[in-house]
Copies of this chain bind each other. A is one copy, B any other.
Amino acid sequence: MNQWQKRSRPIRLERRFEFETYSETRDFLDRLGEHTEAAKRFPDISFGRTYVNITLRPEDEEEEVELNDDDYKFAAEIDGLLN
């Protein structure tokens, strides 16, 4: 089940992840940090004690560009960090 929401103006994918504890949140953030560094791609991330919101814009930064397969693949890779 894909829980990323596609939104417009600007075009982006967003997903909210919720956790039981700060420790789980921090573990996820650490894995996320390693993954974004490896991918050299830096989404906007918001977090508090038990949540993480990720906003992923098209890799291609031209205006009006659509999300492409690489964007969805990157989103799926982030989902994989939950396991």
Contact = CB atoms under 8 A, between A and B. Distances in A.
Interface of A: 22, 26, 29, 33, 37, 42-49
Contacts of A29: 33
Task: Rank and list the top 10 A-B pairs by shortest CB-CB distance, nearest first.
Answer: A42-B49, A46-B46, A44-B48, A45-B47, A42-B48, A22-B42, A26-B33, A44-B46, A45-B46, A22-B37
Contacts of A49: 42
Contacts of A48: 42-45
16 contacts: A22-B37, A22-B42, A26-B33, A26-B37, A29-B33, A42-B48, A42-B49, A43-B48, A44-B46, A44-B47, A44-B48, A45-B46, A45-B47, A45-B48, A46-B46, A46-B47
